[in-house]
Amino acid sequence: MDDGGVAWVERAQRYGDRTALVAEEGAYRYRDLLAASASAARALLAGAPDLCETRVAFLTPPGFDYAVAQWGVWRAGGIAVPLCTLHPAPELEYVVSDAQAGIVVAHPAYAGALQPIAARRGARFLTTEELRSAPAGELPRVDPARRAMILYTSGTTSKPKGVVTTHRCIEAQVTTLVHAWEWRAEDRTLHVLPLHHIHGIINILCCGLWAGAQIETMRKFDATAVWERFARGDLTLFMAVPTVYAKLVAAWRGASEETRARWSAGCRRMRLMVSGSAALPVQTLEEWREISGHVLLERYGMTEIGMALSNPLHGRRLPGHVGQPLPGVEARLVDEQNRPVPEGQPGEIQVRGPSVFQEYWNRPEATAKSFTDGWFRTGDVAVISEGAWRILGRSSVDIIKTGGYKVSALEIEETLREHPAIQECAVVGLPDPEWGERVCAAVVLRPGATLDAAALRAWAKERLAAYKAPTRALFLRELPRNAMGKVTKPEIVALFKETP
């Protein structure tokens, strides 16, 4: 590797005058990214020879400044800690504090929120504008085995933990996807996801820049604006979460027939559309196929492992399934005694390989508990059917133990979504002295629809085993979600407990 020892630098030098990023503030070439990130690295170093894995927390909207900050941290020998633009000050301070950030960087739009946090934590503070002003100078050579990034888990089941990955680990995550999904320099993608999460950082930004592709960023998701960008017909791939696809479906259905035709035509010119980060309802998949002509490629991954499983780029994609292990990824299903289970039987997903993270930051006990004989214990349960893996849910929140049975909340949710009155739903288990856990459903009704708990249970019992049918229902205006659109089930459990 050349100039700083970061693999992205060597590859970007090949692409030179190709457009790397198109953002609200303009279009930037790969050579622009190289020059600006070198300046950023020198500003971060402030005369030091190497940041020596100093944690650098940064907050910037999607776009050129984000990539400059990320690459600048890497080229200076630091550890990048991206922050979420949607988080309130206490959550931002939690990450800055937990990561023990020595430097905090903020776009001017966020300087007011970040500078006091940096001051309280004794961290050096810089704006993204200051990153551009450093004079020329030498940069350290960065060993691929060094720590490169800390991403914080979504915290859906516990306090967010910092997931540490090395440069080599990130490169393994990226090259696996570039190969499997055939990223190329001619690709153009629209980036609408948050950039504090592995989906937006690795699957789109890093893969695109590795391949020499062009990435357009959108600061705030707007369904109509996304459709209008599709309609121009020059994008080649798009990646999003199920919530985004549901919003795009709703916008399409609300448009005129002429607009629908124009939008769908642009969509059909793409070569690939991917869904991930949460379970994709089969109903959404079918609606999207009708609208766009695409069978969404579903995959499975985690902050700790990158992407582990994927439906094929070429070949049959089974609805409700996430395909098979990606190249270079070893995956297995085991029972509660850590014994491999036969095909057709559910088990916990365990993964090992070069794409697996190094450690949880400053949590050696949590790190040790997460591994067994070199295998990372994901806590997710799956079953192999028709030769493909199907996710049943997280063992802690999506596998409900009721009356001696283990049932999948995701399976029940998929069935409940077929009810004509239900727009969205989430199923949880509540402690029960008789049954162990009681199956309960939080439901969002379609506009104008009516439904009560008794009618829902009666309907469900005609389609599910009686022990899977919800015994309680809570009707909400919307489901609580995190920044990535994942339903936060602990919040739903709390709502049930607050409701008699």
Contact between 74 and 40 under an 8 Å Cβ cutoff? The reply is no
Nearest to 121 by CA among 160, 155, 95: 95
Integer angstrom CA distances of residue 82 from 35, 176, 194: 21, 23, 10
pLDDT score at 87: 86
* pLDDT confidence band for 135 (50 / 70 / 90): confident
Q: What is the mean pLDDT of the chain?
A: 93
pLDDT score at 155: 55
Amino acid residing at 71: W
**Residue 46 belongs to a domain:** yes
**Residue 368 belongs to a domain:** no
Q: Which helix (H) or strand (E) holds 127?
A: strand 124-127
270-293 pLDDT, tens digit per residue, is 999 999 887 888 889 999 999 999
% of the chain residues with pLDDT over 90 = 78
- How many distinct structural domains can be found in the chain? 2
Contact between 424 and 441 under an 8 Å Cβ cutoff? The reply is no
315: Cβ contacts below 8 Å, ≥ 6 apart: none
pLDDT score at 434: 76
Decide the pairing of beta strands 472-475 and 436-445.
Answer: parallel
Place of tokens 């999948």: 408
* pLDDT confidence band for 399 (50 / 70 / 90): confident
**Residue 104 belongs to a domain:** yes
**Residue 31 belongs to a domain:** yes
Q: Give me 446's structure tokens.
A: 């379609």
User: Over 90: is that where the pLDDT of 359 sits?
Assistant: yes
Q: Which domain holds residue 452?
A: 399-498
% of the chain residues with pLDDT over 70 = 98
| Domain end position, chosen among 142, 159, 178 | 142
117-126 pLDDT, tens digit per residue, is 999 999 999 9
* pLDDT confidence band for 5 (50 / 70 / 90): low
CATH of the domain at 67: 3.40.50.980
| Centroid of chain to Cα 442 | 24
442-491 pLDDT, tens digit per residue, is 999 999 999 999 999 999 999 888 889 999 999 999 999 887 778 888 89
454: Cβ contacts below 8 Å, ≥ 6 apart: none
d(CA 41, CA 72): 4
**Residue 177 belongs to a domain:** no
CA atoms within 13 A on the CB side of 325: 14
Place of tokens 């999607």: 62
Contact between 427 and 397 under an 8 Å Cβ cutoff? The reply is no
More confident of the two residues 146 and 6? 146
pLDDT score at 158: 56
**Residue 281 belongs to a domain:** no
**Residue 120 belongs to a domain:** yes
pLDDT score at 1: 34
d(CA 37, CA 362): 29
288-324 pLDDT, tens digit per residue, is 999 999 999 999 999 999 999 999 999 999 988 999 9
| Domain end position, chosen among 92, 119, 142 | 142
d(CA 274, CA 433): 42
CATH of the domain at 412: 3.30.300.30
**Residue 438 belongs to a domain:** yes
d(CA 153, CA 115): 24
Q: Which of 2-16, 82-96, 220-234 has the lowest mean pLDDT?
A: 2-16
| Domain end position, chosen among 142, 171, 192 | 142
